[in-house]
């Protein structure tokens, strides 16, 4: 089978699949049927799509295909976190991380191989940018983990976060297509409340995202002043704090939803009491909750996490200023699955 010349149906939203079906002079109803088959667990070929005629199944087989991913690596942390490594067609590796909590599972997925953003504290950045993932490669991470979770009788995936390798908004079109598929009720049926896109702050894209689709937003902020932020995150030299915070204020959130502000605590860099106060001031009037992430240390990175006392004090100041603030416990660090630790090639070289 010459896969290369064929369309991968997993790259298509339901509406794009409908266009394809109509071009075949079939009824649009067929698109509904085919689309929903694609995202049912255990479906690997057209012959399983039993409500399509044999003739139609054959004709589909000749013209198109649909891809899937199977984990090449499955590592479980002592805390229950599971890291999946997926080998792509061109030999590239990507990772997804499943984080089981008391009564829910969160899946963190990747959108690029490597990353071009160059954040100083992040291991993925050390890989450099290799390529964008296709919509199918993004969606198939969810399909594969869903199958694994089912096999292991772990319930289901409750939350989906685009916080793995890569900058989602730098792969905008494919991100959007993948969101339309995972959020489609006939696709993977993740509601807008259960789906979050995280960005380091590509401001024009944040606005565009809000115009295209309703989804939760997470912002990797990490500093409350431009000088520190520009040093940590080169993206801040293009879109500074004020423009980013304005985009947050204008972002169309779903009812009762809040933007998640992510803030890595880096010892002696952004962890002082005055940093906390400035952060509280800058976030004023933004509907948000704050996630403090004590830096995950890595031998290749020149950063340390603050003392527990400093972390507590930082949290207290924000709390006293009226914010909901949690300290994200590091999960999966023993298998390099924690935030900012996903860097397949980087680690192997
Ligand atoms: N590019 C997007 C998606 C990646 S999210 C973004 O920046 O939001 C990955 C998360 O891990 C981000 O919040 C990132 O800032 C965080 N992270 C990166 N390196 C880290 C480290 N060393 N310790 C803790 N968190 C880190």
**Tens digits of residue pLDDT in 295-324:** 998 888 999 999 999 999 999 999 999 999
Please tell me the pTM assigned to this model. 0.95
* 137 Cα–ligand 1 center, Å: 21
Domain boundary at 34, 65, 96, which? 65
Supply the residue whose CA is at minimum distance from atom 12 of ligand 1.
220
Residue 64 binned pLDDT confidence (cut-offs 50, 70, 90): very high
Q: Pick the atom of ligand 1 nearest to 218's CA.
A: 8
pLDDT tens for residues 233-266? 999 999 999 999 999 999 998 888 999 999 999 9
Q: What pLDDT is attached to residue 2?
A: 56
Same domain, 59 and 75: no
Same domain, 56 and 196: no
Same domain, 286 and 192: yes
- Under DSSP, the state recorded for 166 is S
Cβ atoms of 244 and 273 closer than 8 Å: no
C-alpha 169/C-alpha 171 separation (Å) is 5
Give the mutation target among 264, 270, 290 for probing the ligand 1 site: most ligand atoms within 8 A of CB.
Answer: 264
Return the active site residues.
Answer: 95, 339
Task: Using the predicted structure, report yes or no on whether residue 345 has a pLDDT greater than 70.
Answer: no
Q: Calculate the average pLDDT of the chain.
A: 94
* 45 Cα–ligand 1 center, Å: 37
Give the mutation target among 175, 339, 342 for probing the ligand 1 site: most ligand atoms within 8 A of CB.
Answer: 339
Domain limits for position 52: 3-65
Question: Rounded to whole angstroms, what are the CA distances from 249 to 93, 172, 222, 285, 286?
Answer: 36, 21, 18, 8, 6
Supply the residue whose CA is at minimum distance from atom 1 of ligand 1.
167
Residue 135, domain member (yes or no): yes
Residue 349, domain member (yes or no): no
Question: Which residues on adjacent β-strands are paired with residue 288?
Answer: 259
Q: What pLDDT is attached to residue 349?
A: 36
Helix, strand, or coil (residue 84): strand
- Under DSSP, the state recorded for 192 is G
> Angle of helix 14-23 relative to helix 28-38, nearest 10 degrees?
130
In this structure, what token pair is assigned to residue 286? 């933004």
Number of domains in the chain: 2
Task: Using the predicted structure, report yes or no on whether residue 13 has a pLDDT greater than 80.
Answer: yes
Residue 335 binned pLDDT confidence (cut-offs 50, 70, 90): confident
Same domain, 53 and 137: no
First to last CA, the chain: 34
pLDDT tens for residues 119-156? 999 999 999 999 999 999 999 999 999 999 999 999 99
Same domain, 60 and 12: yes
- Under DSSP, the state recorded for 115 is -
Give the mutation target among 198, 202, 267 for probing the ligand 1 site: most ligand atoms within 8 A of CB.
Answer: 198
Ligand 1 site residues, Cβ closer than 6 angstroms: 121-122, 163, 167, 198-200, 220, 262, 264, 293, 295-296, 339-340
C-alpha 180/C-alpha 198 separation (Å) is 16
Q: Which residues of 169-180 are buried (b: 16+ CB within 10 A; e: fewer)?
A: bbbbebbbbbbb
Supply the residue whose CA is at minimum distance from atom 26 of ligand 1.
340
Residue 344 binned pLDDT confidence (cut-offs 50, 70, 90): low
Phi, psi (deg, nearest 5) at residue 35: -55, -45
Q: Which of 83, 87, 111 is nearest to 97 (CA)?
A: 83
* 124 Cα–ligand 1 center, Å: 9
Same domain, 58 and 91: no
Q: Which of 252, 321, 231, 327 is nearest to 282 (CA)?
A: 321
For residue 72, the number of C-alpha atoms closer than 13 Å in the C-beta half-sphere is 11
Percent of the chain with pLDDT over 70: 97
Domain boundary at 32, 65, 98, which? 65
Same domain, 61 and 76: no
Domain boundary at 15, 46, 65, which? 65
C-alpha 116/C-alpha 227 separation (Å) is 21
CATH number, domain containing residue 44: 1.10.150.530
Task: Using the predicted structure, report yes or no on whether residue 348 has a pLDDT greater than 50.
Answer: no
Task: Using the predicted structure, report yes or no on whether residue 20 has a pLDDT greater than 90.
Answer: yes
Cβ atoms of 100 and 156 closer than 8 Å: no
Question: Which residues on adjacent β-strands are paired with residue 74?
Answer: 84
pLDDT tens for residues 274-294? 999 999 999 999 999 999 999
The radius of gyration of the chain's CA atoms, rounded to the nearest angstrom, is 21
Supply the residue whose CA is at minimum distance from atom 10 of ligand 1.
339
Supply the residue whose CA is at minimum distance from atom 5 of ligand 1.
163
Residue 106, domain member (yes or no): yes
Helix, strand, or coil (residue 98): strand
* 340 Cα–ligand 1 center, Å: 5
Q: What pLDDT is attached to residue 346?
A: 41
**pLDDT higher at 349 or 318:** 318
* 121 Cα–ligand 1 center, Å: 8
Same domain, 218 and 289: yes
CATH number, domain containing residue 121: 3.20.20.70
pLDDT tens for residues 161-200? 999 999 999 999 999 999 999 999 999 999 999 999 999 9
Q: What pLDDT is attached to residue 3?
A: 67
Same domain, 208 and 89: yes
Residue 274, domain member (yes or no): yes
Cβ atoms of 183 and 135 closer than 8 Å: no
Residue 58 binned pLDDT confidence (cut-offs 50, 70, 90): very high
**pLDDT higher at 171 or 102:** 171
Residue 232, domain member (yes or no): yes
Q: Pick the atom of ligand 1 nearest to 123's CA.
A: 19
Give the mutation target among 94, 118, 122 for probing the ligand 1 site: most ligand atoms within 8 A of CB.
Answer: 122
Cβ atoms of 183 and 195 closer than 8 Å: yes
* 156 Cα–ligand 1 center, Å: 25
Same domain, 143 and 13: no
* 101 Cα–ligand 1 center, Å: 20
Same domain, 153 and 170: yes
């Amino acid at each position: 089978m010459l896969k290369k010349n064929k369309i991968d149906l997993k790259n298509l939203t339901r509406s794009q699949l409908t266009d394809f079906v109509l071009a075949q002079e079939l009824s649009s109803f067929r698109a509904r049927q085919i689309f929903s088959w694609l995202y049912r667990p255990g479906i690997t070929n057209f012959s399983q799509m039993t409500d399509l005629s044999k003739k139609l199944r054959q004709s589909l087989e000749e013209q198109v295909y649909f891809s899937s991913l199977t984990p090449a690596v499955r590592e479980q942390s002592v805390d229950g976190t599971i890291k999946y490594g997926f080998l792509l067609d061109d030999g590239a590796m990507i990772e997804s991380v499943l984080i089981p909590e008391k009564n829910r599972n969160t899946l963190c997925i990747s959108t690029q191989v490597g990353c071009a953003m160059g954040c100083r504290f992040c291991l993925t950045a050390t890989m450099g940018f290799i390529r964008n993932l296709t919509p199918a490669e993004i969606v198939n991470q969810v399909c594969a983990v869903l199958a694994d979770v089912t096999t292991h009788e772990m319930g289901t995936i409750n939350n989906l976060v685009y916080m793995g390798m890569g900058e989602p908004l730098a792969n905008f079109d494919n991100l959007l297509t993948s969101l339309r598929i995972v959020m489609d009720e006939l696709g993977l049926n993740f509601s807008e409340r259960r789906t979050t896109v995280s960005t380091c702050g590509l401001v024009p894209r944040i606005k565009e995202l809000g115009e295209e689709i309703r989804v939760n937003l997470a912002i990797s902020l990490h500093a409350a002043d431009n000088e520190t932020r520009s040093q940590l995150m080169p993206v801040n030299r293009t879109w500074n704090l004020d423009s980013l915070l304005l985009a947050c204020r204008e972002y169309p959130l779903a009812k009762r939803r809040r933007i998640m502000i992510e803030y890595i605590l880096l010892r002696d860099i952004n962890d002082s009491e005055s940093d906390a106060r400035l952060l509280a001031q800058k976030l004023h009037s933004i509907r948000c909750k704050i996630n403090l992430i004590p830096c995950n240390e890595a031998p290749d990175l020149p950063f340390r996490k603050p003392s527990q006392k400093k972390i507590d004090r930082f949290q207290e100041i924000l709390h006293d200023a009226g914010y909901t603030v949690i300290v994200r416990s590091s999960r999966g660090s023993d298998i390099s699955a924690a935030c900012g630790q996903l860097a397949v090639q980087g680690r192997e070289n």
